[in-house]
Amino acid sequence: MRIKIELSQDEFARKADVPYMALTKIETGVIKKPSVFIMAKIAKTLEVTLDELIK
């Protein structure tokens, strides 16, 4: 989803106000169960619901 809106990981992390390392670990699967707080920020930045993000 992040790639579709043409943002780098760094740009997206800053826009979503989440730590860059957390974002990269979520995207690579190192963090398998990120906090709802971080997922909510990511969903809001992507303009999707949490349900859409999880699918």
Confirm whether 13 is domain-assigned.
yes
Q: Decide if 46 is inside a domain.
A: yes
Contact 1, 48 (CB under 8 A): yes
pLDDT confidence of 55, banded at 50, 70, 90?
A: confident
Q: Looking at this protein, which amino acid is placed at residue 3?
A: I
Q: What is the 3-state secondary structure (H, E, C) of the chain?
A: CCCCCCCCHHHHHHHHCCCHHHHHHHHHCCCCCCCHHHHHHHHHHHCCCHHHHHC
Is there a domain that residue 3 lies in?
A: no
Count of domains observed in the chain: 1
- What angle separates helix 20-28 from helix 36-46, to the nearest 10 degrees? 90
| 40 falls within a domain | yes
Does 29 reside within a domain? yes
Per the structure, the complete domain to which residue 36 belongs is given by 9-54
| pTM for this prediction | 0.85
**3 pLDDT higher than 90:** no
The candidate with the shortest Cα–Cα distance to 12, out of 45, 51, 55, is: 45
